[in-house]
Amino acid sequence: MTRRGFMQSAAALAATHRASANDRVQFAFIGCGARAHELMAALMVHPQASIVGLVDAYKGRTERAVDRVGKQARVLRDYREVIADKSIDALVVATPDHWHKQMVLDALAAGKDVYCEKPLTFRSAEGLEIVEAARKTGRIVQVGSQGISSQTQIKAREMIQAGKIGRVTMVRAAYNRNTASGAWIYPIPPDASPATVDWDMFLGPAPKRPFSLDRFFRWRCYEDYSGGIATDLFVHLCTTIHYLMNAKAPSKVMAMGQLYRWKESRDVPDTLNALFEYPEGFSVNLSSTFNNQSTAEGSFQFLGTEGTLSLEWGRLLYQPESAREDNRWIVESWPRRFEEAYWKDPKVREQELPSTWKARMVDAETAFREEGRDATVDHFGHFLESVRTRKSFWQDAAAGHRAAACAHMVNRSVREGRMVEWDFARDDVKS
C-alpha cells in the first residue's frame, strides 16, 4: 500500500469509530513530522485512543496535525509540558533519534506509557537505561517497527518455528532505494525560517551548530542526529529477523559503508553492507544502497535446509528445496562392478534415482499476499492492548534495544574498520 493510500484508508476507518472521551487513552505526539502524521492516522483508527497533545519544533507541522486530528489536540510549546500534564496517559515519540532516550526516560519517570519510533536509541548503552527504567516504573514501552505486526511476518514466523523450511542457517535482507527522497533529501516547506523553526528545541542534546534548514528537515543525513541507513533501515530488518528467528542479538558484526553518490549536505553513507553471526546458529547478510532499486524496497530471504521463505512488504513466497544427491558423474569413473553395486543399494536408489520412487505428492511453491489495513494500525492495537493489560508486546524496550544495537554495531564497525562483538552478560556492545 502506498503512503497516500494508507493515510486515506486510515482516515476512512477512523471516521467509522466513535467512543466517549472518558473511555479513551489520552495520547500526545512529540514530533509531528511526516512519519508522525502516518502514525496519527493509524492511531485514530482505534476508538479507545484520543490525540490531545502535539509538540514540534516547526509550526507548520503542528498546524497540519491539528487539521488532521481535530481541535481537541492542544499545541504545546515544549515536550516537558506534555510530561507534566497528568491528563495525558501515553506518548508517541517521533522525534529525531538523538532525542529519544531523554524523552522516553522522562515519560517513564512521569508514569506515562511510551510508543517510540525506531530506533529506540541513538547510542547502544542508552537501551540499558530505558530497559531498567521501564522495569522500575512498570510502564509500557513499545518500539515502532511495525513490520512484525503484519500478517506476512506473523505467517513467516509460524512457518519457520514449525520447521516448514528446516534449519535456517542464512538470512539475506536488503533495503534499497534510488530517489532523492529515498535518500532523505526531502522538500523543505516554503515558510521554513528562524521565525517558524525552533532551532534550539531541535538541537537539544546534539552539538551546537548554526541554524540550518537542511539539518532540520533532512536530519537523517547527519550523524549528529541519526545513524543513517543502519538506524533508519537496518533496524527494521534486524527487528524482523529477531522476531522470526527467536534471536536476541548477533555475537559478531562486520560492516563496510561508503558515500558514493548523494555527497551534498550529508555525512552518512548511501551504501552499506554488513555480516552478522548469531549464536542461535545462523548468519545474516544485510545490504542497502540508495543508488539502485531493482529489487523490492524491503526484502528478506530465509534459507533453510528444507526450503526458502522470501518476504517483501505484503507478500510471502514459500519454495521447498528440491535438492537431491547425484553422484552419477563420480561413480561412472569407478570400475564397472563397483558402479553396478552402488546402484543396487536401496538407500542409494531412494536418494538418487527418483524415477524408481513410488509416486508421491510433494510440497510446491506457494505464494501468500496480505490484504487489509496497514500493519501500523495493528501495531498500535498491540500497544493499546498492552496499556490495557499491562503486559508488554514482543517489541518491548529490550527487543527495541537489541535491534537498535545491531545498527550501532554496524556503524561502529564501519567507523573503526573492525569486527564488533556483543557482550551477552552485559546485554550490550563490547567496549
One-character DSSP codes across 120-189: S-SSTHHHHHHHHHHHHHT--EEEE-GGGGSHHHHHHHHHHHTTTT--EEEEEEEE---STTTTT-----
Calculate the average pLDDT of the chain: 94
Mean pLDDT of 150-173: 98
Mean pLDDT of 236-262: 97
pLDDT tens digit sequence for 105-151? 999 999 999 999 999 999 999 999 999 999 999 999 999 999 999 99
Burial, 177: exposed, middle or buried (Cβ in 10 Å; 0-12, 13-18, 19+)?
A: buried
| Torsion, Cα of 159, 165, 167, 170 (10° steps) | -100
Mean pLDDT of 197-216: 98
Residue 3 binned pLDDT confidence (cut-offs 50, 70, 90): low
Amino acid symbol at 229? I
pLDDT tens digit sequence for 256-274? 999 999 998 899 999 999 9
The pLDDT, as a whole number, for residue 12 is 46
| Torsion, Cα of 304, 370, 177, 116 (10° steps) | -90
DSSP letter (8 states) at residue 57 = S
b/e per residue 139-164 (b: at least 16 CB within 10 A): bbbbbbbbbbbbbbbbbbbebbeeeb
330: number of Cβ within 10 Å: 10
The pLDDT, as a whole number, for residue 372 is 94
Q: Can you list the domains of the chain with their CATH numbers?
A: 3-146+374-395 (3.40.50.720), 149-322+363-373+401-429 (3.30.360.10)
The pLDDT, as a whole number, for residue 294 is 82
Residue 20 binned pLDDT confidence (cut-offs 50, 70, 90): very low
Q: Is the peptide bond before 119 cis (omega within 30 degrees of 0)?
A: yes
Q: Which three cell numbers stand for residue 404?
A: 537498535
Say if residue 19's pLDDT is above 60: no
Q: Which three cell numbers stand for residue 117?
A: 519510533
Q: For the chain, give percent helix, strand, coil, nearest 5.
A: 40, 20, 40
103: number of Cβ within 10 Å: 22
* Type and span of the H or E element at 416: helix 397-416
pLDDT tens digit sequence for 78-112? 999 999 999 999 999 999 999 999 999 999 999 99
Mean pLDDT of 317-321: 96
Query: What whole-number distance in Å separates Cα of residue 230 and Cα of residue 407?
Result: 5
Say if residue 15's pLDDT is above 80: no
Say if residue 2's pLDDT is above 60: no
DSSP letter (8 states) at residue 58 = B
Mean pLDDT of 189-212: 98
20-29, 170-179, 186-195, 230-239 — which is least confidently predicted?
Answer: 20-29
Mean pLDDT of 152-179: 97
Say if residue 287's pLDDT is above 80: yes
Amino acid symbol at 225? Y
- pTM for the structure as a whole: 0.92
pLDDT tens digit sequence for 37-67? 999 999 999 999 999 999 999 999 999 999 9
Say if residue 21's pLDDT is above 80: no
Query: What whole-number distance in Å separates Cα of residue 230 and Cα of residue 315?
Result: 24
Mean pLDDT of 168-194: 97
Mean pLDDT of 282-286: 98
Q: How many helices (H) and strands (E) does the chain have?
A: 16, 16
361: number of Cβ within 10 Å: 5
In order, the DSSP letters of 340-372 are HHHHH-HHHHHHH-GGGSPP------EEEE--S
Say if residue 299's pLDDT is above 70: yes
Q: In the 3-class helix/strand/coil scheme, how is 171-207 assigned residue by residue?
A: EEEEECCCCCCCCCCCCCCCCCCCCCECHHHHHCCCC
Burial, 317: exposed, middle or buried (Cβ in 10 Å; 0-12, 13-18, 19+)?
A: middle
Q: Which three cell numbers stand for residue 296?
A: 523490492
